Chains A and B, each alone.
Chain A
Amino acid sequence: MVESTDKVERVVREALKIACPDIGAVDGGTHLASELGLDSAQVMDMIMEIEDRLDISIPVATIAEARTLDDLCNSVRRVAGEA
């Protein structure tokens, strides 16, 4: 199952909105921790939301390196592409 680029980004943004409801406009280079203030628990909630919506399992190590929204989208695309 290969997810289209647009679908992955849309799902990641939806998951971010659930993890962080008060969030404003976010561009792809926005830093998840230092700019959005997401803690590790919020990031993990967001990942599980993405997993459920795309029906994939994302290994913890895969997203450990993701610093920005674009990083996260790319990591998810890699997993989705392999699924």
Chain B
Amino acid sequence: MTLLDKFAPLAELRGALAASGNVPSIATPMDAIHSATEGVIDGKTVLLAGTNNYLGLTFDPETRAAAIKAVQELGTGTTGSRMASGNYAGHRALEREFAAAFGWPSAIVFSTGYQANLGAISALAGQGEYLMVDADSHASIHDACRLSMATTIRFRHNDPENLARRLERLGEDAKKTLVVVESLYSVLGDRAPLKELVDVSKQYGAMIIVDEAHSFGMYGPKGVGICAELGLLDRVDFVVGTFSKSLGGVGGFCVSRHPEFELLRLGSRPYIFTASPPPPVIAAARAALARLLRGDDLRAQLWKNIERFNSAVKRLGYRTGSNDPGPVTALVFNERADAIAHWQGLLDAGIYTNLMVPPATPAGLNIVRISLSAAHSDAQISRMIEAFEQLAARFKPAA
């Protein structure tokens, strides 16, 4: 038995996921990218519907121009941590802009969205304190719990009453607890009962952090997320998010209504012990954030696409992971073979989506995940609907 033998089951899973065609369904090789909605896979131009590029900002002219200018003026990287030589004016300005967008006093930028959860959660709750985490949380949240010295307890997914029971058992220690939830879960696309979760957290004196990775940019009056949409920004303690979805870049942020949050810079290992994001990344994020806050035209286009696509999926009888239409639509299949056949059928029709199977999915579900973009044209949405109509005729999902 060697260190590498334990990976054998993964080799079996990879083999089982090998599609009937030439293209692997996991780590699918992208040969070229032509726009926010078109790329090349296996020599063929395909429509991208599995990218999280919700507002299509990866190819926004202002965002690209800002990144190019930053490279020319400031170089390709900072080669240092924010605590050393990597604390540029752009990083500080972006943090002020995030804080202003939420109307809160403090924001910290991290090098990735993964590190934003790692850095914020692991530093906020330490030894002798508690993390109360939704069971279906993203891997970055579970990893943050492992990095923290706090005691981690999971509660049932989207179940405020289950959370309440666990906080009740903690007694006075509930006041030393950080509740961790997502506003919109990335695999099934289901929304959290956020108001109820905040009510329960506050009832027991706990703080709450909300991950808006898949909702920032698409919800709320200014697009800053579901907490703002529900009017919860005066009770939620922290919001964490990413640049790699609606903002079309890479990086992460955490904002807080508590000014003391600034002190995390001195105690968060994932913030301190890594290089700060490169100048073009920061410049692109600033331009994308400004574009997002400037108006609701991109959100309006995205929601138009969501409504059109989701009504077609429902009409065709597909089972979806959520009843709330949103930027993520998860088609749920009982059998892995059916999910693979749909993923392959869509790719054959020139449409790239995501195939997700256990153990990477909640409740052992087999999923074909579609993410829509404001950059999808009416004609592209029509193409997607036509492809599903043809697949539905073959597989009869409503039967």
Contact = CB atoms under 8 A, between A and B. Distances in A.
Contact of B153 (A41, A59, A83): A59
A55 B362 CA distance: 24
A11 interface: no
Given A58-B153, A59-B152, A61-B152, A48 B135 contact: yes
B359 interface: yes
B208 interface: no
B187 to A, nearest CB: 12
B365 to A, nearest CB: 10
Contact size range, B: 10 to 19
A60 B154 contact: yes
Nearest to B364: A41
Given A44-B154, A48-B135, A60 B358 contact: no
Interface residues of A, number: 18
B14 interface: no
Contacts of A57: 153, 166, 169-170
Interface in B67-121: none
Contacts of B166: 51, 57
A41 B169 contact: no
A39 interface: yes
Interface in B101-151: 135, 145, 151
Nearest to B152: A60
B308 interface: no
A40 interface: yes
Nearest to A56: B169
B156 interface: yes
A57 B153 CA distance: 7
B91 to A, nearest CB: 34
A59 B151 contact: yes
Contacts of B154: 44, 47-48, 60
Interface in A31-53: 39-42, 44-45, 47-48, 51-52
A10 B330 CA distance: 37
The listed residue with most B CB atoms (<10 A of its CB), out of A45, A57, A59, is A57
A39 B152 contact: no
Contacts of A47: 154
Interface string B352-386: 00000011001110000000000000000000000
A48 B358 contact: no
Given A48-B156, A56-B169, A61 B359 contact: no
B350 to A, nearest CB: 33
A44 B135 contact: yes
A51 B145 CA distance: 19
Contacts of B362: 41
Contact of A39 (B145, B155, B170, B359): B359
A41 B135 CA distance: 9
A77 B276 CA distance: 46
A56 B153 CA distance: 11
Nearest to B167: A57
Nearest to B131: A60
A42 B135 CA distance: 11
Contacts of A52: 162
A55 B168 CA distance: 11
B358 A41 contact: yes
B129 to A, nearest CB: 12
A19 to B, nearest CB: 10
B151 A41 contact: no
Contacts of B156: 48
A62 to B, nearest CB: 9
Contacts of A55: 165, 169
Interface of B: 135, 145, 151-156, 162, 165-166, 169-170, 358-359, 362-364
13 contacts: A39-B359, A40-B359, A41-B359, A41-B364, A42-B364, A48-B156, A57-B170, A59-B153, A60-B145, A60-B152, A60-B154, A61-B151, A83-B169
Interface of A: 39-42, 44-45, 47-48, 51-52, 55-61, 83
Given A39-B358, A61-B151, 19 more contacts: A40-B359, A41-B359, A41-B362, A41-B363, A42-B364, A47-B154, A48-B135, A48-B154, A48-B155, A48-B156, A48-B162, A51-B166, A52-B162, A55-B165, A56-B169, A57-B166, A57-B169, A59-B151, A60-B153
